[in-house]
Chain A
Amino acid sequence: MRKVVRVANVQAFWGDYTQAAKELLNQDSEVDYLTLDYLAEVSMSILAKQMRRDPKLGYARDFVKVVEAIAPNWIAGSNVKVVSNAGGLTPQECAERCAEVLREAGCTGRRIGVVTGDSVLPALQAEKGDVPEFRNLDTGESIETRREDLITANAYFGAKPIVAALEAGADLVITGRVADPSMVVGPCVFEHSWLWDDYDRLAGATVAGHLIECGTQVTGGISSHWLELEDPSSIGYPIVEIDLQGGCVVTKPAGTGGCVDERSVKEQLLYELGDPGNYLSPDVAVSFLGLNVKDLGGDRVQVDGAVGSPPPPTLKVSGTYEAGFHGSGTLTIFGQNAVEKAKRAGRLVLDRLKRQGLEPQDSRIECLGGGAVAPMREDLKQQVTELVLRVSVADERREVIQRFASDWVALVCCGPQGTTGYAGGRPRVSKTVAYWPCLISQEQVSVSVEVFEA
């Protein structure tokens, strides 16, 4: 049995650096697994929009390019395995496209596992009236009034289907919605032959997964000491080495920029964390309260002491629904009394909309550089001579946002002196996609795993 499983993350979100997978494999040939995350809360609705243009395109196309880029490594003898949720709404289509590019590259013999069944939209729309499980987890709101507006709804799977795919010989596992840390838990369960009630070990691997799921955020990205980082342009993507007991060492390839130290690891442990005594995943409930973080030096930090208990009986669902339209305009204001000028210019646009009977249901005027994010002392505010005015509006009526977009540009002549930066043209009118988190019982979800040779 292997001593440690080495798992890297090379994609933290859809939009992350596209060369990371290839670069990491060339920097560190001893990595066992690459994980790639493409799905944030509302990503599924972007994929749904993409599917309206082409029903086959419900997946993250960037991932196919990654597979294409690493095919030469496989041909040259690498045995690295890949786990990704790039399948989005159509994992099957994504897998077929990956198989195609592998064949085109002359990379034969690789097996692709496909995990499907996470879409629970029919279940959410089938029942009538209020269903307690489907209530919005954040607000307690009933689904009744939103049911028809739902665009997507996907349950978060855990590591079990990933392990099933690996057991069937998959080199490449493509899923839809899956809990991010489960992409690390799956390989650990498979390689270390853990049982599903080895809760402390599952907890350790879940912590390891949590640490790398945001890629470079654990290697110095967004850290409080970011300015101290060495060569951020070559910042390394993270690797976790998980031992048989579920403890791990976080590291990054030698020679890369950034850092893995006690501070970067502690910051990322706390990232998007709620109750540290009860971090829930579909595989295990984790307590962070006994974790030990030890800086071993040389960009290696050991993390152990995770305690696990049985996971909740329900699965979390991430739903999206249509909620009207929004738009934002930005302009640079330079000169004396910039804050006062900017606020007045913002009000001018909103007043005009009101006069036309198109007062937005929601609006906001912000002076970026003049106390928008945190309050600024009045005397300092008066000294600001350069800022960005940002006005945002939201409404159920598309025409309100359209009118805002055209009225915005009128500031070129009727706004304050020193207003500049019109080069971007009119603000865009965007559909607002809102988030519907809820629960679903395991029995209402049926997962399916298929493995085929590319």
Chain B
Amino acid sequence: MSETESGKIQVALASIAYARSGDKGRNANIGLIAHSEAGFEKLLEQVTETRVLEHFAHTPVTRVVRYEMPNLGALNFMLYDVLGKGGSQILAIDAQGKALGQVLLTMPIEVSADELVACSPQIVSHRTEA
């Protein structure tokens, strides 16, 4: 976490969202889901196609398409050609794009301290009470 000139703080996307990725032939998708409605606004504003393309500049990705799913508070990103020749022919360790979600969650975003509270996961327990 570091403070920027605008008084906002820089945090990893993982502070306000969670993700899941997988392969679709030579392409892969990453679903990115906000922990809260306020967080979804931040995703819309900061996790743009351009930024995602830059974030994956170390891969063969050629273009990124972003789909908005406000009903789920989520964005879906298609990363074209990110798996080169595709799952069975790519030589890279992450041949099925399984790690791409975790990689996306390291992207830095800017929020104010108040916004960070509003965007953070609500503390809920999914465990069944005895």
Contact = CB atoms under 8 A, between A and B. Distances in A.
Q: Do A and B bind each other?
A: yes
Interface of A: 41-42, 137-139, 222-225, 228, 230, 259, 261, 263, 266-277, 288-293, 298-299, 305, 323, 326, 328, 362-364, 366, 368, 372-375, 390, 392-394, 432-435, 437
Contacts of B92: 364, 366, 372
Interface of A is mostly: loop
Contacts of B39: none
Nearest to A326: B91
Contacts of B108: none
Contact of A394 (B25, B31, B72, B89): B89
A349 to B, nearest CB: 14
A316 to B, nearest CB: 11
Q: Sort A-B residue pairs by CB-CB distance and give the 3 closest, nearest first.
A: A270-B31, A224-B18, A392-B91
Contacts of A276: 67, 69, 76
B128 A298 contact: yes
A152 to B, nearest CB: 13
B18 A374 contact: no
Interface stretch (B1-9, B80-88, B109-117): B80-88
A435 B87 CA distance: 8
Contact of B72 (A228, A269, A323, A393): A269
A339 B78 CA distance: 32
Contacts of A139: 26
B93 A368 contact: yes
Nearest to A432: B89
A329 B92 CA distance: 12
A373 B128 contact: no
Contacts of A259: 126-127
A366 B93 contact: yes
A220 to B, nearest CB: 9
A409 B78 CA distance: 40
Contacts of B106: 374
Nearest to B101: A224
Contacts of A298: 128
User: By CB atoms of chain A within 10 A, which of B19, B76, B93 has the most?
Assistant: B93
A273 B86 contact: no
Given A41-B87, A270-B69, A432-B88, 4 more contacts: A224-B20, A224-B105, A277-B67, A437-B25
Interface string B62-83: 0000010101101010100000
23 contacts: A41-B25, A42-B87, A42-B88, A224-B18, A224-B20, A225-B18, A228-B126, A230-B127, A259-B126, A259-B127, A266-B31, A267-B19, A267-B33, A274-B24, A289-B71, A291-B72, A328-B91, A362-B91, A364-B92, A373-B94, A375-B58, A432-B88, A435-B86
Nearest to A363: B91
Nearest to A371: B58
A434 B95 CA distance: 13
Nearest to B105: A224
Contacts of B126: 228, 259, 261, 299
Given A274-B29, A374-B103, A390-B93, A224 B88 contact: no
Contacts of A374: 58, 99, 103, 106
Nearest to A323: B89
